[in-house]
Amino acid sequence: MVARFGAMVRQVGLRHRLAESDLDEVMQDVRIRLWRSQREGEQVRQVSASYVYRTAMSAAVDLLRRRRARRSDVTVSIDEHVERLTVHGRGPELDLAHAELAGRVAQAIETIAPSRRPVVRMYLAGYPREEIAGLLGWSEAKTRNLLYRGLDDLRSRLLEQGIGPERTEGAA
Amino acid sequence: MNDEQLKALYGDAVREAAPASACVPPEQLLALVRKEGTEESRLATLDHVMACPRCLPEFELLRSIEQAGGGADGRAKSGRNWHWYAPVALAASILLAVAVVRRTPPPGDVARGDADSVVLHAPGVSVTSGQPLSFAWRPVPGATGYRMEVLASDGSVVASAETTDTMVTPDAARQLPAGTYNWWVRASLSGGASVRSSVRLLEIRARSQ
């Protein structure tokens, strides 16, 4: 039962950044919780699909809480940060130019209106419009409108900084 | 600058960004995927999540569970509607699987599940402790890998292995104390689907002195 639910979750998460190891950890926790509840005498007929779902969600939130608690004890070394900045292998100059351009795009996004900014971020992260609309409970028309306005805002900000098509071609 | 160029630059910016000093709490992530709270607060959470390399995979975990709970087709639904749209097939499979777990298969019986499930071969129901314990099953067409788990009576996993082969001999299984266990195998198929075996009894007897 847990495996089947886990497969469904995995299938949904395939499209984006679902970490398999996280899901395995959650499903393992779900399995243990279900076994414990049965041992305590819960009737089999009371184990419903909604019970598995609620158990999985509860296990996932607990996992995130544990991770946050561990994270507060961990520091990121400077070496690790430097390594993250130099993995592209374009050569130091191009890497620097690309990183600078990426940084300016990120800064320009910050100036977009809060109602449009998350939509632009989702779109640039690769989420299709339908998923953005579904997550926010918006109509397709509203989502499209806010997205295009947000992208226009972003391009305007970049243009104000002299970042247009010709600059991108050279750096990308 | 076209959309693809913007996406590439944005992707690099997020990857190279230093993690935010204050991530949103898990409860806020949950509210976002369940569409709870004001739109303003959900947009603020989403804005952080999309720019945070730590929160994004966590958001995806919760969102995937929410969507899987919302229906087998994976379409986004309101979290509150889940209870009404929960697939009957999933509920039925849960009851069936629980019944299988609680019913001990007779010695020598080969456990079978769905038509596409994994057929277990070895070991037999009863083995002696302290010896290498090999687990084998029939190949599943299209399988990209297998995961085998040995479960204690409380459901905890006491030995496991992942392999592309159809046989494993995990060290942890050799060291299991005498007792009653269950084991099963899940085959991963291309495209993210998986099939599984039924749960099979494994009795480990103490070695006679």
Q: By three-state DSSP, how is residue B56 classified?
A: helix
Asked if pLDDT for residue A168 goes beyond 60, the answer is no
**The predicted structure's pLDDT at residue B171:** 86
Q: Tell me what the mean pLDDT of segment A55-82 comes to.
A: 71
Q: Does B60 touch chain A (CB under 8 A)?
A: yes
**pTM score:** 0.57
Comparing A110-114, A134-138, B181-185, the range with the smallest average pLDDT is B181-185
Q: Tell me what the mean pLDDT of segment A103-126 comes to.
A: 92
**A65 vs A17, higher pLDDT:** A65
User: Are A68 and B26 in contact (CB < 8 Å)?
Assistant: yes
Q: How many helices (H) and strands (E) does chain B have?
A: 7, 9
Comparing A51-60, A106-115, B78-87, B157-166, the range with the smallest average pLDDT is B78-87
Q: Tell me what the mean pLDDT of segment B79-86 comes to.
A: 39
Distance CA A51, CA B40 (A): 31
Highest mean pLDDT among A134-148, A153-167, B185-199: A134-148
Which residues in A lie closer than 8 A to residue B44 (C-beta atoms)? 114
**The predicted structure's pLDDT at residue A16:** 66
Q: By three-state DSSP, how is residue B181 classified?
A: strand
List CB contacts of A13: < 8 A, sequence separation 6 or more: A23, B60, B61, B63, B64
Nearest Cα to Cα of residue B20 among B52, B57, B45:
B52
Highest mean pLDDT among B30-34, B53-57, B122-126, B172-176: B30-34
List CB contacts of A139: < 8 A, sequence separation 6 or more: A133
Q: Does B75 touch chain A (CB under 8 A)?
A: yes
Distance CA B24, CA B145 (A): 36
- B180 bridge partner residues: B203
Which residues in A lie closer than 8 A to residue B43 (C-beta atoms)? 114-115, 117-118, 136
pLDDT averaged over every residue in chain B: 75
**The predicted structure's pLDDT at residue A1:** 65
Asked if pLDDT for residue A100 goes beyond 60, the answer is yes
Per-residue pLDDT reduced to its tens digit, B95-137: 444 444 444 344 333 333 343 478 888 887 888 888 788 888 8
Asked if pLDDT for residue B86 goes beyond 50, the answer is no
CB of B7 closer than 8 Å to CB of A127? no
Which residues in A lie closer than 8 A to residue B46 (C-beta atoms)? 118, 121-122, 135-136
CB of B70 closer than 8 Å to CB of B85? yes
Q: Tell me what the mean pLDDT of segment A135-150 comes to.
A: 94
**Predicted ipTM of the assembly:** 0.78
User: Are B196 and A125 in contact (CB < 8 Å)?
Assistant: no
The distance of A8 to chain B (nearest Cα, Å) reads 5
**The predicted structure's pLDDT at residue B107:** 39
- Tell me which chain A residue has its CA closest to the CA of residue B185: A3
**Nearest CB neighbour to A10, from listed B51, B63, B192:** B192
The distance of B190 to chain A (nearest Cα, Å) reads 11
Assign A47 a pLDDT band (cuts: 50, 70, 90).
Answer: low
**A79 vs B160, higher pLDDT:** B160
Q: By three-state DSSP, how is residue B126 classified?
A: strand
**Nearest CB neighbour to B50, from listed A22, A125, A168:** A125
The distance of B61 to chain A (nearest Cα, Å) reads 6
**The predicted structure's pLDDT at residue B175:** 86
Nearest Cα to Cα of residue B169 among B121, B136, B128:
B136
Assign B75 a pLDDT band (cuts: 50, 70, 90).
Answer: very low
**The predicted structure's pLDDT at residue A166:** 54
DSSP assignment of A5-23 equals HHHHHHHHHTTTT--HHHH
